[in-house]
Amino acid sequence: MSLTLEQVRRVAQLARIDISDAEAESTLGHLNGIFSLIEEMQAVDTRGVEPMAHAQDLAQRLRVDEVTEVNRRDAYQAVAPETEAGLYLVPKVIE
């Protein structure tokens, strides 16, 4: 299988990564190299094999529905690019 330039642009758009035409070209070459490695998997018959999502087959642990964190809003917002009155600022979404 081989990716097309159009697919690379589409995936970059889904991943929200701006990509120039020149970058898309060189990325295409690299990705196709990587996918030719990945393709080795496809020849294997895995019918009936249970997919392994995790290293330990454990059920998700549950906890009591209680507030355990202290409010450190100021400390956490101090590292944000832009905040105002305790809110994160982003460019206007709705005109």
Partner 1 sequence: MITRSLSALARALAAREISSVELTRLYLERIARLNPKFNAYISVDEEKSLAQARAADDMLAAGQAGPLTGIPLAQKDIFCARGWLTTCGSKMLSNFVSPYDATVIERFNAAGTVILGKTNMDEFAMGSSNETSHFGAVRNPWNTECVPGGSSGGSAAAVAALLAPAATGTDTGGSIRQPAAMCGLTGLKPTYGVVSRYGMIAFASSLDQGGPMARSAEDCALLLNTMAGFDERDSTSLDRPKEDYTRDVEKPLAGLKIGLPKEFFGEGCDPDVMKRIEEAIAEYRKLGAETIEVSLPNMKLAVPAYYVIAPAEASSNLSRFDGVRYGYRAPEYADLNDMYSKTRAQGFGEEVKRRILIGTYVLSHGYYDAYYLQAQRIRRLIANDFVEAFKQCDVIMGPTSPTTAFRIGEKASDPVQMYLSDIYTIAVNLAGLPGMAVPAGFVGGLPVGLQLIGNYFSEARLLNVAHRYQQVTDWHLQHPAGLD
DSSP 48: T
Site for partner 1 in 32-61 (CB under 8 A): 33-42, 44, 46, 49-56, 58, 60-61
Among 81, 84, 85, 86, binds partner 1 (CB under 8 A): 81
Among 5, 72, 84, 85, binds partner 1 (CB under 8 A): 72
Q: Shortest gap between Cβ of 25 and partner 1 (angstroms)?
A: 13
Dist. CA 69–CA 66, nearest whole Å: 9
CB 39 within 8 A of CB 47: no
Dist. CA 1–CA 42, nearest whole Å: 11
Among 21, 63, 84, 85, binds partner 1 (CB under 8 A): 63
66 binds partner 1 (CB under 8 A): no
Q: Give the pairing type, strands 83-84 and 87-88.
A: antiparallel
- Total residues at the site for partner 1 (CB under 8 A)? 52
